A and B are shown apart, each in its own frame.
Chain A
Amino acid sequence: MKWLAIAFALCAGCGQTGGEFVDVPFSGQGTAPEPFVSDGWEVLLSQATLGFGPIFFCTTESPDPRRCDPAILEFRDGVTLDGLDPNEQFIGELFGTTGTINTAFYDFGIVWLLTIPLAQALAGVPGGPASVPFEAPNYVPGGHSGRFFGSATCIEGPEVCCPEADTCPTSYEFEAFVDVVPGTRGRPTINGVEAPVTITPEPVSLLITFDPNAWFQTVNYGRVAALVDESGLAALGPADPDYNNIVIAMSGNPFPTFTWSTTGTTE
């Protein structure tokens, strides 16, 4: 009977069943600090610690995460990246199947599960794991999605740097502990970002590049200057419009770039 079973098993294995499971290594990459000028301020980020994950890659072309069922690849943990390090930082392996990827759905380290009333910062991200009671009136961001430090120097005079202020510091340092919290329970924060590739059994890897410098170009530094305390530090909080500008920028201005490489089909 044993040889019969072996023969049957061999014959049974002749054929494909539509794709196969794969592991895809992926890394993160930051952008080197680079001064930029914004409304008379020269700004330089000195630290950008990012919380990232989970991320799902899907076949659907729709930004509706309910259409991402099933996914092609996924990484369900949270990780910490140096957003200002241009070197590849290995994160882990995406797990999934072969198939066509069109879109990505991801979070910056904070998820809001269907099964838990509060959003959660994942273990592995700055300050995680932790609950994120972001709707409470005295909410203090934990910086689970990003912890940013930098400096701003007025280079074109107060009338340009602080046009609506009575006083204007010539320079200051700032910090922003940012939580990018999903807007809808059970759904990722960022939905439907284009990341096209066809995953085959051939080896492929992914590099995700973040550009915190670009995110901070959306900040109104003259307005932030009003937050500078006695020590010369401006701390952005959820009540500040520029805190939300950072959150919005992280959510898609710009999106990170997804680079599939090696022997994979990069599109």
Chain B
Amino acid sequence: MRSIATRRTPWLWWVGFGLILTAPVRAQDEPPAPQAPRSDDAEAVDSPANPPANDDSPANAPEDVVDAPTDGEVIDAPPADAPPAAEGSPADDSSDPETLHPPHLLTSPPPEYPEGREEEGVHPTVLVRLTVTPEGEVRDVVVEHSAGADFDEKAMEAVRGWTFEPARRGETPVSSRIAVAVHFQPPDLGLPHVGDTHDPQDAPHAEIIPPSANQPLQVAPATADENGFGATAEVDAEKLRAEGRGAGDFTVDKRILNAGPANTANDLLQRAPGLYVANVEGDAAGAFFYLRGFNAEHGQDIELKLGEVPLNQPSNIHGQGYSYLGFIVPEAVRNLRVIEGVYDPAQGDFAVAGTVEFDMGVEQRGVYAKSEIGSFRTFRQVGIFAPKDKDPDTFGAFQVRRSDGFGENRDGLDASGMFQVGFGKEAWRFRVHGAFWGARYNSAGVLRLDDIESGDVGFYDVYPFATARAQNAFNAGAIVGVGGEHRGKNDENTSFDIYLQFLDFRIQQNFTGFLQTSQVAPNFFGRGDLIEQRDRRIVVGGKARHRTARFKPAEWAQGTIEMGLSGRFDFINPQQQNLIAATENQTWDERVDANIFQGDVGIYVDLDWDFTQYLNFKGGVRADALFFEVEDRLLNFIPLFRPANFIEGFRRSAAGIVAGPRLALTGKPFEWFDIIAAYGEGFRSPQANTLVDGEVAPFAKVRSADLGVKFRIGPEEQLNITLTGYRTWLNKDVFFEATEGRLENIGPTSRTGFVFYAVTNPLPWLVGALSVTYVRAVLDGPPPRTVENPTPQFDKGDLLPFIPPWIVRFDIGATEELVDLGNYPLIGHLGFGFTYLSARPLPFQEFADPFSVLDASARLSWRFLEIGFQAYNLINKQYAGNEFAFVSDWDPDAVPSRIPARHISAGRPRTLFFTIGIRL
């Protein structure tokens, strides 16, 4: 390390880079390595008390602080906190076009010592985080560790005047975000230094800019994404809240997301351990999710979030917790955080199997355009703009897609746009974001398996009836929001988010063929069971939270306390106009026409405490109060034969409260090994339309427990392994009821299983991930008795149908420079994604066939141009994306069967895309 004296001033100062170049192997889902105990206030991070001016001796220069240069003089020493460049690592391989080179300080005028503070003799350090633009300018300065407002102000004022040699990816300047410690040394007035009780030589240098256990000053080097448009600069991995909520708390980072092909958000979700997504109702409808033994349908058992914006729609007429992800531009997804289980007090409604959060951001700055042309006359156009002088939070992205769809009656069109603007002033950072979309696709619906086997209908066809060919979905919406965060000193932070959503969803489906009769007009029948459901809503919501500064009551204990709240209000207009007679689309029955107000106010307390360096406790309690007001205009229906003595309609209200703990205890006996136990209780809100007046809202409550281990293997943690066993209990499970096209109660259920997840980065150009999930999901009691079924045939211990016991997912991606062409590297990428589902149990002792799907992608990038190839279901495996069992009749000339039959929705056959992209 070089130490260069600056001008002779009464103030000596040091500047340090807190830049830690974590090796690419470090998965962001891993908790940071145990840190040495740290001081809990700014004074404790003081550097040597009175270092002499112009003293460049190592003894007086903290090891992890780089002294500032004389103006105009270049420091080309590596960051002090950066690990030594390993042989063959990116840090010493400047020829590697993927290699990340940190920024270097060029000019650094010193900070002024605040007026009036000189006589105090303090010598604090202010830790700031800033963005170095590709032009070497400083942007978005944020105080991370405050030393008081006046010192903070002077530190920020100083660093804004500094200039840098920008970070480079290969030879290309890129944006980067780094931590800088600005140290103030008081003028030597001959006064004793307050708080200076240590010999400077004894100062624990490692504590000067210590990343806390929760807030690692970690930057993850990015890799090129699947399209060559991903993170090429560092990612600021610092979190406001601690992760590591149970062993099943994973972050699937950009490297894994980009390994294989993905042109929808659902494709990205397949990378999450144990998560299977079946997108079988068309790209304008939500997908079906399966996670850890939960048939989460369209989102009833999985909390989905876009940043801090919840995507689940309570009391959606098509399914509780319905979620649509088609508007998310996958190229703008920075990572996925997946919490499997309910162990974080911040998890809210629908976090039954767990939570998935999309983190949006574009690391590679510039303008990018990509066209995809492929099978079934599919065309997709993507555009992204990410201003180079802004941080990765700031971007705009859009996609337009049209397709004839595989098989019959699957054509459609969708378009979406997303933007996010990040900006900040001093300790505050803000984010404004929005998303807008529209989509309409036809749908082939479901087919009886016996009809396929008999050749009456093709696997990828649709039934030849007007009410089958009229199946389609329409989706439109807009989300806007504002978020802000304030980072104080010593881990203290505060944040808020508010959002507004307008959502419109309409779907026409015919599951049962020709079985239904009109309830409004009994002489209407036999017109085909085409159900129209529409859910239109406005959502207003927000969240706020505050985490205290780190508190250290004893040498062996330190931690923080967080309190948070959330509020959400949905104004919903659900309708179900069953039985529309195609093609004129007359309504010939009405089932639901309501106005619903639903509110959710949640509060939580969350602790994050370290007990020595070997034990960490995270957890607290969450409570949610839910309120419902329903105006159902069609209930209390008056049949034609009955004289009316009242007016149809049913108005009612209900409320309820649910609370439960979420706890995670992590033992860290070694730096490379964690053992984590977790227990939590979550909930799913009820469908508002099923409540009666005054009912204490009957929440579905889940209890979840995990016990797992995490290994970090290799000098740079090239292999990260997680193995966790879990058990969950759900007191009210539901299943799909085809006649009404909605979910019905099936009784209490439980699940036992394990998740194995390994992420490896054995070579700088190679990344891979493997997950294996097993679950045994059983019924814990018979379903409720009904008039239709007073003696339910399910027994305790019966397997839950449709749940795949085994889900295996494997992703591997390789990105490497192949050859130099005209002094520019030609970069190649090859990636694969593989999914395997074991035989899913079906009702009546049947099992669906197991299946596996292999996806692949290849790409060449040269200068601003890239061309690529994507293949989904490369081996063209014919498989059922989803299976059902219910009664249907698709032969209008025969006596209809009343025995449940297997139905399938076809999975995607081999689909090939050619892509071409330009990046400027």
> For residue B901, which residue of chain A has the nearest CB?
A70
How many residues belonging to B are interface residues under a CB distance threshold of 8 Å? 50
- Chain A residues with CB under 8 Å of B900's CB are 70, 97
Within 8 A of A (CB), among B809-867: 836, 838-847, 850, 852
Cβ contact of A18, chosen from B804, B844, B893, cutoff 8 A: B844
A54 within 8 A of partner (CB): yes
Residues of B within 8 A of A58 (CB): 898
- Cα distance A196–B845 in the bound complex, in angstroms: 24
CB pair B899 A71 closer than 8 Å: yes
B798 near A21 with CB under 8 A, answer: no
Task: Provide the bound-state CA to CA distance between A60 and B787, in Å.
Answer: 6
Residues of B within 8 A of A13 (CB): 839, 841, 847
Docked pose: A263 CA to B799 CA in angstroms = 27
A122 to B893, CA, bound (A): 11
Q: Does B479 contact A (CB under 8 A)?
A: no
Q: Is the CB of B842 within 8 A of A17?
A: yes
Interface centre among B515, B806, B845, B900 (most CB of A within 10 A): B845
B394 shortest CB reach to chain A, Å: 45
**A98 contacts across to B, CB distance below 8 A:** 793, 844
Would you give the shortest CB distance from A115 to chain B, in whole angstroms?
Answer: 4
Whether A15 lies near B896 (C-beta < 8 A) is: no
Contacts of A115 in B (CB 8 A): 514, 526, 892-893
Contacts of B896 in A (CB 8 A): 76, 113-114
Contact (Cβ within 8 A) B805 A12: yes
- A170 close to B (CB within 8 Å): no
Instruction: Report if B305 contacts A (CB, 8 A).
Output: no
B496-528 contact mask (Cβ, 8 Å, vs A): 1 or 0: 000000000000000000110100000001100
Cα distance, A96 to B842, chains bound together (Å):
15
For chain B, residues 781 to 796, give those with C-beta under 8 angstroms from any C-beta of chain A: 787-791, 793-795
B801 interface residue, CB < 8 Å from A?
Answer: yes
A135 to B790, CA, bound (A): 37
- A100–B525 CB distance below 8 A: no
Cβ of B592 < 8 Å from any Cβ of A? no
Cβ contact within 8 Å between B895 and A76: yes
- B788 and A11 form a contact (CB under 8 A): no
With a CB–CB cut-off of 8 A, which chain A residues contact B806? 8, 11-12
B778 at the interface (CB under 8 A from A): yes
Query: What residue of chain A has the Cβ atom nearest to residue B847's Cβ?
Result: A13
Partner of A186, one of B517, B776, B840: B517
Are A8 and B850 in contact, with the CB atoms below 8 A?
yes
Query: Is B779 interfacial (CB 8 A cutoff)?
Result: yes
- Given A16-B797, A16-B798, A67-B788, the answer on whether A54 and B895 have CB atoms closer than 8 Å is yes
Please state if B899 and A18 are interface contacts (CB–CB under 8 Å).
Answer: no
Question: Is B887 part of the contact surface with A, judged by Cβ < 8 Å?
Answer: yes
Contact residues in A for B514 (Cβ distance below 8 Å): 114-115
Contact across chains for A113 and B526 when beta carbons are under 8 A apart: yes
CA distance A230 to B514 in the complex (A): 50
Question: B898 to A19, Cβ gap below 8 A?
Answer: no
- In the assembled complex, which residues on chain A have CB atoms less than 8 Å from the CB atom of B745? none
In the complex, the chain B residue whose C-beta lies closest to that of A65 is: B898
B739 at the interface (CB under 8 A from A): yes
Q: List chain B residues, Cβ under 8 A from A99.
A: 791, 793
Interface residue? A179 (CB, 8 A) = no
Bound CA–CA A114/B843 (angstroms): 28
- Are B845 and A20 within 8 A (Cβ)? yes
Could you jot down 30 A-B contacts, CB within 8 Å?
A: A5-B836, A8-B805, A11-B774, A12-B804, A12-B838, A12-B841, A12-B850, A13-B841, A16-B797, A16-B798, A16-B799, A16-B845, A17-B843, A18-B843, A21-B844, A56-B898, A69-B887, A70-B900, A96-B899, A97-B899, A99-B793, A100-B791, A113-B526, A113-B895, A114-B526, A114-B896, A115-B526, A116-B526, A185-B525, A186-B517
Q: Closest 6 A-B residue pairs measured CB to CB? A: A71-B898, A115-B892, A20-B845, A114-B526, A18-B794, A100-B791
Known interface pairs A11-B805, A12-B838, A114-B515; 18 further A-B residue pairs with C-beta atoms within 8 A, sorted by A's residue number: A8-B806, A11-B774, A12-B840, A15-B776, A15-B778, A15-B799, A16-B797, A17-B798, A19-B845, A59-B790, A67-B788, A76-B895, A97-B899, A98-B793, A102-B790, A114-B896, A116-B526, A185-B525
Binding site for A on B (CB under 8 A): 514-515, 517, 525-526, 739, 774, 776, 778-779, 787-791, 793-795, 797-801, 804-806, 836, 838-847, 850, 852, 886-887, 892-900
